[in-house]
Structure formats: C-alpha cells, structure tokens
Structure 1
Amino acid sequence: MRKTTRKRFRFFVGIDVSRDFFDYTLKKGRLTIDQGREENNANGIDRFIQALAAVETYNHPVCVFGMEHTGVYCNHLLRLLKKSKANIVHENALAIRNSLGLVRGKTDQLDSERIASYLYKNREDLVLWKPKRDVIIHLGVLSSLREKLNVNHMSVRHTLNEYAEFADQAVADLWSASTALTLSSIKQDINDIETRIKLLWTSDKSLKELMEIMMSVPNIGEKTALQILIRTNEFKDITDPRKFACLAGIAPFPYQSGKSLNGRSRVSYMADNRLKSLLHLCSISAIRNNPEFSTYFKRKTREEGKNGMLVVNAIRFKLVLRVFACVKGNRMYQSNYLTKRRDKVLIS
C-alpha cells in the first residue's frame, strides 16, 4: 500500500457527492468555518474553489479534501481538484462511517461535515489519492461492462430455457424468435469488448509483463489476472498478499470473546465479490486438475476432517501468494523454485 502522508494539514474539506450536486463543509481543526452546496459540474466546482479561497486564513497547500467512493459521480471533482494541486482523500464510505462511532440522522450537509471530521480525526494517517493510468481506468470500465453484458445474456438465456422446458412449444418458439437478435448482439458486443481488453494490455509493455507473470501461475486465467491487475492498480496500491486477501474476502478472522463466544474463524462479508468468485473458480480448477492441490484437498478433508470450504479458501490464498511472489520477484512461476534455491544455498 502507499505510505500514509506526514503532511501537517490545517484545513479539512468534507464533500458529499451526488449526481447533480455536492455539499461541502470546511473545517479549520475542529471548528466549522464554511458550508455550502454547488452543482456537480465544472462551473459549480470553480465557484466552490473560489468560495474556499475567499475564506480568511484559508491556505490551499495545507488543506485536504475528502469524499466517499460514489462511482463516476466524483470524477469531475477529482479531475479539477487534482488540476488545482489539491490534497485528496478518496475513501470507502463504510470506513468513514465506522470510524465515527455512534451517529444519528442523515442529510447531505451532515454527511459532508462527518467526512470533514473523519479527515481531522485521522489526519496523521491519511492516504492521499493518486490517479490511475488511463489504460487501467479503461480496462476497469471494459471489464465492468463485460460483466454486466454477461449477466444480461445469461438472464435472457435462462428465461428462454425455462420457456423451452415448461411452456407450450408455440410460446417457446415466440420467445426464441423475439430474443434471437438481442442474444446475438450481446454476444457480439462481449466478443468485441474482450478483443479490446486484450489489445489494451498487450499493447502496454509493463501490463503485458505483469499479465504474463500472473498467468504463468497454474490455474490463474486471463480474467482473474486482469481483475488482480485492476484492483491492485498494477500492484502499486496493494503489494501485500495478505491485504489483497482481505480485499478479496478470503482472509479468515477470529470470532471469540471471553467464555461465551468461541466461534470458528471465518471470512468477512466485506469483500470484492467479483474477485472472490474468480479466485473460487481458480481453486476448484486447481483441485480438479492440479495433482498437488488435489492431494492437499483430499488429505485435509478426508484424513484430517477439515471443512471442505475451509480448505478451498486456503487454496485460494495459496494461489494469491504465488501470484504476488512471482510479481515481486519479476519472474515466471516455477514449481521447483524453492528446491532450486535450497540447492543453491547448500552448494554455496
């Protein structure tokens, strides 16, 4: 992960962003000195920046702006604030909410004030936002679009199969004829997107090297490698496999308290479900096709009596460890890599 900033901030601006407007609160330390609402466009953002500059004692270099992840709604603010050389924190909404303790009520203005309070409270540990490269942004957009089109395609196909099995033949034929062009068009769009995705990462030297390294790990396919690449921002935002495991929802956490609660460790529901799903498919493929993991799964479940999903989760993490180890070492996967290293040490 990027290192936290040690810059001493004096002004804290919390921004609550919606589609058409954004509310803001300016604090100097704990004291609220300005609040307002502007339109979420270039003109509104210019007025917002000018209003801050007009505040007495305001100092832009020692001010930090914070906002929650709200999809594309933050894009105008992020771009124009970065252009003004602002310090920006782009944080997960749940992280902000959980850090503030017990809160009551909710309005846009109140949310902006809470974000400003979060910035002040965590001023020593803030991680400043840095824009991703355009190629990573484009890969993320295309990957998300491909997933949505796949969902739509499967939805129509599922209904078509149900009609074919349970409805009259005439009704099934009517449904099939009415959706044939839609299904064909969606499938063509998916194929075109996949071609564009491959062209993007193969045309970029560093991305191509990272993708080839990740795909050299047995049972890690192109889609899984691409999602790892996007979510880690080329391994710039996340370099620790354990932190990545937390993001992917495959890191188990203990659930114990005193004598009354002694539950088994389990993964958190707060996870990137797309990543988790892809890693699950990789682990199932590894159990079926990789003798090493097949033997490991049988030993843990049959001989040691471990829960099957617990072992599957362990295999997910083993795959993640291998990917990160290869990327860190800038090398392709080698099944006997550790053996070679031991032999080298013994010889020397």
Structure 2
Amino acid sequence: MNIKDTVGIDMSKLTFDARIHSSQIESEFQNDKKGYKKLVDWTYKNSELPKENIIFVFEHTGLYSDGLSVYLASKHIPFFLVPGLEIKQSMGMTRGKSDKADAKKIAKYAYRMRDEITPTKLSCKEEQSLKHLLSLRQRLVKQRAGFKASLKEQKRVLVKKDNKTLLSTQQKMISYLTKQIQEVEHEMMDVLKSNQSMLNNYKLITSIKGIGSQTALFMIAYTANFTKFKNHRKFASYSGIAPFQNQSGTSIRGKTKVSNLANKKIKSLLDLCAKTSIQHNAEMRIYYEKRVAEGKNKMSTINIIRNKLVSRIFAVVNRKEPYIDTMKYAA
C-alpha cells in the first residue's frame, strides 16, 4: 500500500477524536457504528488525496477500539493499530494532554512512519473469542485467589461457630468461581475444536514436556495462531525473555539482561513452564543442574530454558510434528 495521508484517531469510551494529517482538519465522533461511518465519509471528503492512499491509525485500547477495528476490516478499509507507548516515545518531550492533541500526534507519527507501516489484519473469530475467554478466566482466577487468601486468614484467627455466615459465604463463592472457571475452560476447548488449525497446534505444543494447556492457549491467541511472529526470537522479545546488551563506549558495561517491555502474563507462564520442565524433564533438569554446579546464575539458567521451550514450540508448529523426547532413546 502506498500511504500518502494518515488519519490519527484518539479513542475513548463514548467518543473519539480524529485528525487528517494532510488538511489538518479535526472532528469528534461517537464511538458506535454511526460514528464509524461518519468518520470514513468525513475523511474521504476532507482529505486532499485518494482514499486508496489513506490509512486510519489509532491505539489498541481493548474494547474501546475493537468496534472501529471490526468495522474498518468489514469494509476492507486499511487501518493500523499501534501501541500507545510507541507513539509516546516517538514524540519526545511534550507538555499537556488532550484528546485532540493526541489525535494530532498519532496522525503525525503515522505520517512519519508511513513507509514502514503495514495495515493491521484482524485475527479470526475463533482467536478473538479465545482472547476474550482467556481474559475472563484470568479475572475469575484472581477473584478466587482473593477469596481463598482471606478465608484462610480468617479461619486462622476467627472462631468458626461465631462466624458461620462469613466463612460459609466465602467458601460458596470459591466453589462458584471454580465452577465458572471450569465452564470457561470447556468453552475454550470448544473454540479450539471449531478451528482445526488451532486444535492441531494446541496438540503439538502440549506434546512438549512442561508446556500446559493454559500456556498453549495463550501462545495460540497472542501469536494469531503462529502467523504474527516470523520466528521464536521475535516472540521471545515480545514476551520479555530475550536478553539485550547494556553497554556504550568504554564507560558503560552493564549486564546483559531482559527488557521490562513485555507481555507479563506470557512471561510468567513461561517461567512456570521452565520450572516444571526442570522438575519433570530429565534433559532440562540435567542442563540446569550442570550450569548451577558450574557457578552460573540460577535465574539466567531458567531464562535460557524459557527460550529453549519457546524455540521448541515454534519448531513443532513449523514442522507440524509432535515433540520427540530423545532422552528416553539415549543409551
């Protein structure tokens, strides 16, 4: 696509502001289908360039931006979803903040980057459903953990016969949330079964020792079923397990370390997988014990195992063959 004009959009719950870079015209619209149609008509009327050379650019703000994304995709209108932090860092030092100013910044940023922008492609319906269900499960698990923690503490310090309602109500909530979590998990499996490619990749990923169902589901959802990242190194960077150098000239010689810019949920899941692999995978356990015995840092060793697991996940998906544990064939 030959991008010659950009429309910056700052999304909010009920409305959004838009600014056309070429004409510097701005307007506000309702965050609904009528507003989306008005936005497109207004843009094509006020831009100085043909619609084939115009791209709409806005931040990925979850539910607030989903409606516009789906509408533009359904009309085959090119758009680009960009992380807010990327825009903020590209602008340098700024003073003040407003929706109109943010729309201007987004339009300016997109125009500067127009030669590098690739229009966003929405995930398929099953992938979007999987993301929503994973998010719901996270909230339910967090709520259940809160009830469990408070109930445990209250049982320790309170007299049971004097606080029956307090304790029994929380126990019922824990049981109810557990049931809801199980229902969500069943629904996620139904979603997988409705898409053969996703189901096949799920089976391939879980063939690796140490990789559980939740990690497999997150990998499928956040890699767009392994179409979003070219290789495991790109995904390692996204998930915050890729080490980066920290040095400059002769004065700065910092340790090589991972970045805080990451998908923290996937990083924590990979951490659990690495520790599970050390316990139940003979190959990983031997590797870990050998490095530790040599005096190597434990956390850096765990991070290497995280990367090994990610590499194996991408390998089995690319080969379309389950993982083979070669250790059991060793003499």
Q: Distance in 2 between matches of 1:228 and 1:203?
A: 17
Q: Distance in 1 between matches of 2:33 and 2:162?
A: 52
Q: Establish whether residue 166 from structure 1 lines up as the match of residue 157 from structure 2.
A: yes
Q: Secondary structure at the residue paired with 1:95?
A: helix
Contact 1:253 1:267 in 2 (8 A): yes
Partner of 1:130: 121
Q: Which of these residues, 282, 287, 312, is aligned with residue 296 of structure 1?
A: 287
Equivalent residue number for residue 4 of structure 1: none
Unpaired runs of at least 5, structure 1: 1-6, 340-348
Matched-pair contact (CA < 8 Å) for 2:151–2:167: yes
Q: Percent identity?
A: 29
Q: Shift in Å at residue 98 of structure 1?
A: 1.6
Query: CA 1:281–1:24 in structure 2 vs 1: closer, same or farther (change >3 Å)?
Result: same
Cα RMSD for the two superposed structures: 1.8
Taking the aligned partners of 1:171 and 1:228, their CA distance within structure 2 comes to 47
Give, in whole Å, the separation in 2 of the partners of 1:219 and 1:281.
8
Displacement after TM superposition at 1:263 (Å) = 1.5
Check if 1:84 corresponds to 2:78: no
Structure 1 segment 262-277 matched on structure 2, within 5 A = 262-277=253-268
**Deviations 1:249-271, CA, capped at 9 Å, x for gaps:** 10111111233321211111111
Q: TM-score, structure 2 length as denominator?
A: 0.95
- Give CA-to-partner distance per residue, 1:189-209, whole Å, 9 cap, x none: 111111111122123211111
Q: Tell me, in whole angstroms, the C-alpha distance in 2 between the residues paired with 1:263 and 1:165.
A: 47
Q: Report the Cα offset of residue 188 of structure 1.
A: 1.1
Alignment correspondent of 1:110: 101
Per-residue CA deviations over 1:54-89 (Å, capped at 9, x if unaligned) read 226342111011000101101221122223322100
Mapping 1:1-348, distance limit 5 Å: 7-28=1-22, 32-55=23-46, 57-170=48-161, 172-303=163-294, 305-336=295-326
* Letter of the structure 1 residue corresponding to residue 17 of structure 2: D
In structure 2, C-alpha distance between the alignment counterparts of 1:118 and 1:27, rounded to whole Å? 10
Asked if 1 retains the 8 angstrom alpha-carbon contact of 2:236 and 2:310, the reply is yes
Equivalent pair of 1:163/1:171 in contact (CA under 8 Å): no
Q: Deviations over 1:99-137 (max 9, x none)?
A: 222322211111111111111111111021111110111
Which amino acid letter does the alignment assign opposite residue 7 of structure 2?
Answer: V
1:214 partner letter: I
| Unaligned 5+ runs, structure 2 | none
The answer (yes or no) to whether the contact 2:130–2:221 under 8 Å persists in 1 is yes
Structure 1 length normalisation: TM-score?
A: 0.90
Report the alpha carbon displacement of residue 222 of structure 1 after superposing the two structures with TM. Answer: 1.1
* Distance (whole Å) between structure 2 residues aligned to residue 91 and residue 167 of structure 1: 51
CA distance in structure 1 between the partners assigned to 2:209 and 2:280 by the alignment? 10
1:321 maps to a residue whose letter is S
| 2: CA distance, partners of 1:173 / 1:306 | 52
TM-fit CA distance, 1:45: 1.9
- Would you say the 8 A contact 2:206–2:213 is kept in 1? yes
- How many residues were matched structurally? 329
Bigger shift: residues 126-135 or 161-170: 161-170
